[in-house]
Amino acid sequence: MRTVDDSTLAEHVQRAARRPEVIAAVGRVYAQLQTEIDLRRPMCVASGRCCRFEEFGHRLFVTTMELAAFVSQLPVDPPPAWDGAGCPFQVNKLCTVHTIRPFGCRMFFCDATSRLWQNEQYEVFHAHLKRLHGEMVVPYRYVEWREALRQLGLARLSVA
């Protein structure tokens, strides 16, 4: 499977975003994931911790196809300017793109009981997404969320 270099990520994401079968495939993976999550019933208190990466010591990574699905469904309005910390789509502790959020966001719960299953399920579903790249001939890239947004021109830093 071919890997995408940084200079072509945006091109490959845009090309995949125009393919309805790619968007549908990602949607099916997300639906399967939601079924698994529903079986476990983790608690979400809308604390916003999932989006404050530095504060809670985690990172979000996305694949080319996830970015394509995200871009294809992103509202026309640009995201608000942001300070470079956390996720640019979090406003007042809430996700402004919740319905189209990437796989890693869907998988993360700060509920302590989630740690028992979320890492294993992450690996299972990430492997599924990675296979789909090969099957659908979409160059695979696994990149940190904010870096991907920058490369796609979707994250703009506020000027202090």
Q: Max Cα separation, the chain?
A: 45
Contacts of 43 (CB under 8 A, 6+ apart): 109, 111, 113
Residue 115 has pLDDT above 90, yes or no: no
Question: How many structural domains comprise the chain?
Answer: 1
Query: Looking at the chain, how many residues does it have?
Result: 160
Tell me if residue 144 falls in helix, strand or coil. Answer: strand
Residue 46: pLDDT band with limits 50, 70, 90: low
pTM (predicted TM-score):
0.84
Give the domain range for residue 37: 6-151
Position 158 in a domain:
no
Lowest-confidence pick of 17-31, 85-99, 102-116: 102-116
d(CA 160, CA 81): 11
Residue 4 has pLDDT above 70, yes or no: no
Position 1 in a domain:
no
Position 78 in a domain:
yes
Position 124 in a domain:
yes
The overall average pLDDT reported for the chain is: 82
Residue 2 has pLDDT above 50, yes or no: no
Return the C-alpha torsion angle 60, 97, 3, 139, nearest 10: 150
